[in-house]
Chain A
Amino acid sequence: MRRALRLLTLLLCMALVLCLCGCWNYTEVDDMSIVAGVAIDKDAADGKIQLTAEIVDIKGGLNQNQAGFKMLSLKGKTMFEIVRNMISLTGKKLFWSHAKAIIFSEAVAREGLIKTMDWYSRDTETRSDVFIFVSSEPTAREILNLNTSKKAILSFELAQMMSDEKFTSTAPNVEIWDFIDKLETSGNHAVAPLIYVHEQNGKKNERVNGCAIFSKDKMIGKLNGKETKNMLFAKDGIKGGVLAVNDIHGVPTYSLEILSSRTKVKPKLVNGKLSLQVRTVTRTGLDEVMTTKDFSGNEGISSIEERASKALRQDIESVIRKLQQEYHADIFGYGEIIHEHQPKVWAKLRDNWDNEFVKLDISVDSKVIIENTAKTSRSIRLGD
């Protein structure tokens, strides 16, 4: 009896093994379609969303050392519907964890991004650290389609580009998470990098430069690369990049490499009137001198600093004016800063912030400091 009971227990335990043998939803890698990036367009004719996915092709040959890719495109009414319907094209469920880029066409962006973005941030299979872009070309998919001529996975290239973006600072670095964060925060509007097709000698290349300005979730305008850099200066988003400085005659002569930059925004209340003081301090290294004139004297360096500071101040001012007058959109997050430091004033401004921002008195003060002159201490001297 006792032995029979033991045997029964053992059998039951072994039966348990059957349901403990691993994951319930186990999927092999070759049963998944790994998405690298997506492009989202809107069909003007029937108003449907068109989703184009760049998929990593994991079938590798012996002499093929790079993963291939394939493109899938499908139309539908909602994002998730399309994503699931794609199974009818691939026969495999799409796997989103490695997606790196989402490109929206301008039409989609102008109509409002929440429509297409919500699924991506809500779903549990997707991750919120994917980069977003707005296509400056008529459609978003033609950018992803560049991969056929480049023979490389474009989305991964874009991700690489964004992680090196800090050395040029001509486009903002925006993850879908940051974008939604900006949408939810009051006193702040979102931006997204713009992406072009850059054509030269018949060779097409993608180029990220400039940014799209949003008011709520709708795109309302664009800034070019230089303006974007000044915008980043105004909102403390600069991590690196180059400042070109003119010489006394207005000829571009010097290049300053930005080592670090800090922007401080201070709201000030004087006699009940609110004004903002934007102060930037940029530490740079002199990295290029396109002249033989000597600058090694202290005056030379300090006059370059002075000119650079002045030019930077004017640039930042002009981009702030542009946003105030043309777009009425506070993409700098100044409203949020006022909220944090002057909550009582903000309570009055909050509901009408876009209009208040236009009237806001913003003064800019920039300081550029040259800390080193790279490897050489003077300009190249011509021998006699």
Chain B
Amino acid sequence: MGKENIPAGQSISIAVLFIIGSSLFMGASGQSGNSSWIAIILAMLLALPLMLIYARLHVLLPGKDLFDMLILVFGAVAGRVLSCLYIWYALHLGSLVLRNFGEFGKSVPLTSTPMLAPMLIIGLLCVWVVKGGIEVLGRSSKFLLLFTFGVIVVVQLLSIPKFQFHHLLPVLDSGWKPVFTDMMGSFTFPFAEIVVFLGAFHALPQKGSAVRILISGTLIAGVIILLVTIRNLLVLGPDLLSSLYFPSYVAVSRINIGDFLTRIEGSSAIVFVTTLFVKVSLCLYAACNGVAKVFKLSSYRSVVLQMGLIMVYFADFIYKDIMQMDYFAHHIYKIYALPFQVVIPVILWIAAEILARKKIRKQKTAQN
């Protein structure tokens, strides 16, 4: 099997769909009421330096993915332990996202279908695409991104008659504190989740492209999330927004163009499914890749089905109910995810820098 390779355009599509993935469903965390859009802008800006760090890793250790890097930098044992943590994180994240979808299906469109059924079907689709390889995922994302853009833009335009701009006033109603809390929330979920993408870094084209991919991915996804959040805010108002599990869905259900174009929320939910599909697939890919690297398998493809089924089953029992899911996503996750997204990558980056310096010095002394 030859080396996998995804061109920059496809990688950007994966990154964008990955980031907007479940936050389109769940909405940004909303303690700051009508200032949540400020929190998203801040979170986006805060994510940019982190993206530069991730991209720098790609420059320092070209052609390697996260697990290679960990094993190379921290040694065979410590590196494998950290890799296991990341395998867990990718697997867990994939399950969380699947569960979001499952809960959505359970509570809105398919109330008497067991939650496992839609999750299993999406899960098997993800297994299929991951087995096909990251290139397949890249190509399908590029197409799905166009589709997603189309639907979001159309829905955005159709919602304009329901916009009530006074919902934005007064700016910073409850002060800066909740804005910063929300900023942390939006930073960890969804922006910094892109750390999972590091698990597929070996497939990126050569040097320097990672900066472009990560930065433009974050910016495009950030703008989409911002637009959707502002739309939800303008249509629903900050008070009602905070009580809803799936604000986007309800906001779209308010659309009524001349009593004719109504009830389109079902069709707009397709976007949820497409973005979620990309997100889960990338998580699954990273997890399988990690397993292959840790256990020195010849190909990650032999574990895809097993990991995929574990992910689906895990998603089924990970929460007791939707209240727990909401609490975890908006309160616990921002602390839980921080080591994976910031602490370990930053340590890895510093260690890799030192290693690279040493290498250069060694080369110099060798030359002398």
What's the Cα separation between A343 and B170 when bound, in Å?
Answer: 7
Task: Tell which of B108, B113, B239, B253 has the most Cβ of chain A within 10 Å.
Answer: B239
What's the Cα separation between A185 and B243 when bound, in Å?
Answer: 13
Known: A124-B107, A181-B237. A24 touches B117 (CB 8 A): yes
Tell me whether B166 and A340 are in contact (CB under 8 A): yes
Known: A177-B254, A341-B169. A124 touches B108 (CB 8 A): yes
Tell me whether A180 and B240 are in contact (CB under 8 A): yes
Residue A288 at the chain B interface, CB threshold 8 Å: no
- Please give the number of chain B residues whose Cβ is less than 8 angstroms from any Cβ of chain A in the complex: 22
Which B residues are in CB contact (< 8 Å) with A127? 253, 263
**B121: nearest chain-A partner, CB-CB:** A20
Which B residues are in CB contact (< 8 Å) with A343? 170, 173
Find residues 18-43 in chain A having any chain B CB closer than 8 Å to their own CB: 23-25
Contact mask for chain A residues 102-136; partner B; CB cutoff 8 A; 1 contact, 0 none: 00000000000000000000001101110000000
Tell me whether B112 and A339 are in contact (CB under 8 A): no
Known: A24-B110, A25-B113, A177-B254. A341 touches B237 (CB 8 A): no
Residue B111 at the chain A interface, CB threshold 8 Å: yes
Tell me whether A25 and B110 are in contact (CB under 8 A): yes
Which B residues are in CB contact (< 8 Å) with A157? none
Tell me whether A25 and B111 are in contact (CB under 8 A): yes
What's the Cα separation between A337 and B167 when bound, in Å?
Answer: 10
Which A residues are in CB contact (< 8 Å) with B166? 336-337, 340
What's the Cα separation between A179 and B112 when bound, in Å?
Answer: 30
What's the Cα separation between A337 and B170 when bound, in Å?
Answer: 9
Find residues 76-118 in chain A having any chain B CB closer than 8 Å to their own CB: 97
Known: A124-B108, A341-B169, A343-B170. A185 touches B117 (CB 8 A): no
Find residues 251-293 in chain B having any chain A CB closer than 8 Å to their own CB: 253-254, 256, 259, 262-263
What's the Cα separation between A180 and B240 when bound, in Å?
Answer: 8
A-B contact count (CB 8 A): 46
What's the Cα separation between A177 and B250 when bound, in Å?
Answer: 11
What's the Cα separation between A128 and B250 when bound, in Å?
Answer: 9
Which B residues are in CB contact (< 8 Å) with A25? 110-113
Residue A164 at the chain B interface, CB threshold 8 Å: no
Known: A163-B259, A340-B169. A184 touches B113 (CB 8 A): no
In the complex, how many angstroms separate the beta carbon of A341 from the nearest chain B beta carbon? 7
In the complex, how many angstroms separate the beta carbon of A344 from the nearest chain B beta carbon? 9
What's the Cα separation between A338 and B178 when bound, in Å?
Answer: 22
In the complex, how many angstroms separate the beta carbon of A85 from the nearest chain B beta carbon? 19
What's the Cα separation between A336 and B262 when bound, in Å?
Answer: 29
Which B residues are in CB contact (< 8 Å) with A181? 237, 239-240
Tell me whether A185 and B110 are in contact (CB under 8 A): no
What's the Cα separation between A180 and B173 when bound, in Å?
Answer: 21
In the complex, how many angstroms separate the beta carbon of B168 from the nearest chain A beta carbon? 9
For B170, give its contact among A125, A129, A163, A339 (CB under 8 Å).
Answer: A339
Contact mask for chain A residues 311-346; partner B; CB cutoff 8 A; 1 contact, 0 none: 000000000000000000000000011011101000
In the complex, how many angstroms separate the beta carbon of A176 from the nearest chain B beta carbon? 12
In the complex, how many angstroms separate the beta carbon of B231 from the nearest chain A beta carbon? 16
Known: A25-B113, A129-B254, A177-B254. A184 touches B108 (CB 8 A): no
Tell me whether B259 and A341 are in contact (CB under 8 A): no
Which B residues are in CB contact (< 8 Å) with A129? 254, 256, 262
**A338: nearest chain-B partner, CB-CB:** B170
8 contacts between A and B (CB under 8 A): A24-B110, A24-B113, A128-B254, A184-B237, A185-B239, A340-B166, A340-B170, A343-B170
Closest 8 CB pairs of A and B: A340-B169, A184-B239, A343-B170, A24-B113, A25-B112, A340-B170, A185-B239, A124-B108
If A97-B263, A128-B250, A339-B170 are given as contacts, then 20 extra A-B residue pairs at C-beta distance below 8 Å, sorted by A number, are: A23-B110, A24-B113, A24-B117, A25-B110, A25-B111, A25-B112, A124-B107, A124-B108, A125-B111, A127-B253, A127-B263, A129-B254, A129-B262, A163-B259, A181-B237, A181-B239, A337-B166, A340-B166, A340-B169, A343-B173
Q: B-contacting residues of A (Cβ < 8 Å)? A: 23-25, 97, 124-125, 127-129, 163, 177, 180-181, 184-185, 336-337, 339-341, 343
Q: A-contacting residues of B (Cβ < 8 Å)? A: 107-108, 110-113, 117, 166, 169-170, 173, 237, 239-240, 243, 250, 253-254, 256, 259, 262-263
